[in-house]
């Protein structure tokens, strides 16, 4: 179980997760205990919230389709949507901020 704690300082939200601290400019933050509710979130919001952005980037850079699909499954994307997202990203990585193939 992950415990998310958020504190506010003007417009910057500070997240504490274990020994890690994260800063983001957020307008709305949901504080949860247990599994987050990813409904209504973009892929990037889901990956950020689950601390999986680095894992996602690594999988895409390595062109590891299966690992990328698994990561999206970890943020509650169904397999069909995850595969479509990964295939779209891998077909044109520079469109999504990655180096061209």
Q: Give the pLDDT confidence score for residue 49 in this predicted structure.
A: 87
CA 83 to the chain's CA centroid: 16
27-77 pLDDT, tens digit per residue, is: 444 545 567 788 889 999 999 989 999 999 999 999 999 999 999 999 999
User: Is 0.85 surpassed by the pTM of this model?
Assistant: no
Only one residue has tokens 């998310």, namely 4
Residues 6+ apart with CB under 8 A from 73: 79, 82
**What average pLDDT does this structure show over 68-89?**
97
Q: How far apart (Å, rounded) are the C-alpha atoms in residues 95 and 97?
A: 6
Q: How confident is the model at residue 24 (pLDDT cuts 50, 70, 90)?
A: low
What's the rounded mean pLDDT across residues 80-94? 96
């Amino acid at each position: 179980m992950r415990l998310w704690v958020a504190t506010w300082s003007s417009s910057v939200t500070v997240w504490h997760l274990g020994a890690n601290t994260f800063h983001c400019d957020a307008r709305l933050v949901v504080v949860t205990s247990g599994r987050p509710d990813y409904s209504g979130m973009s892929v990037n919001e889901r990956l950020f919230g689950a601390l999986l952005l680095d894992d996602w980037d690594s999988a895409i850079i390595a062109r590891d389709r299966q690992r990328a699909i698994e990561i999206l499954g970890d943020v509650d994307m169904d397999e069909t949507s995850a595969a479509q997202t990964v295939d779209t990203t891998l077909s044109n990585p520079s469109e999504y901020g990655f180096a061209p193939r």
